[in-house]
A = this chain, B = another copy of it.
Amino acid sequence: MNKNKTLSLTTYGLKNTNQRKALYELLQKQNQPVKAEDLYKELQNKNIAISLSTIYRILDAFLEKGIVSKTTIDNDGVIYYEVPRSKHFHHLICLSCHKIVNFENCPIHDFEDELANKTNFAIAYHQLDVYGYCPECLAKMKEKHSTIK
C-alpha cells in the first residue's frame, strides 16, 4: 500500500544496513531526546545486534545528513539525540535544584529566516535553553536571607 514502509536511507546517500534501519526506526519512535546508551539498550532488548561504537558512528552519519539533531540537557556533557520536528521543546533549567521545565512556544522561527538570508546558511534546526532560579529555590534563598538578618 505504501512504499514508505520500506524505508530508504539511500535517499540520503547512506547504505541501507540493518543497523541503520533499526536505529532510524527507533529514533523516529522517541518522543524525547535519548542518549547513545539508551538506544543501545533498547536495541539489545529487541535482540537486534549492534555495537555501541556503531551507534555512535551511525549517529554521526545521521547528524551530517540532518536526520537527527544533538542536544545537551543542562549542559552536563552528555549528548542527546532526536529527530528534529517542527513541534519541539526547549528547556528552562533551575541553577539551584536543576529542575527542568519544558516550554513549547519557540520565539525564533522568524529570526531563523532572517539569519538564513543574512548568512546564506540553510538552517536545519536550533537549540535554545534558558537558565534561572525556580520559584521554590527563590523562596528558599529569601528565607535563608531573612533568618540571617
Contact = CB atoms under 8 A, between A and B. Distances in A.
Interface string A65-82: 110011110011111000
Which of A76, A103, A126, A135 has the most chain B CB atoms inside 10 A of its CB?
Answer: A126
B132 A116 contact: yes
Please tell me the size bucket of the interface on A: 35 or more
Interface stretch (A1-9, A15-23, A89-97): A89-97
Nearest to A74: B70
Nearest to A116: B132
13 contacts: A64-B95, A69-B131, A108-B128, A119-B134, A119-B135, A120-B134, A122-B132, A122-B133, A124-B131, A124-B133, A125-B130, A127-B131, A128-B128
Interface of A: 63-66, 69-72, 75-79, 92, 94-96, 101, 103, 107-108, 110-112, 115-116, 119-135, 138
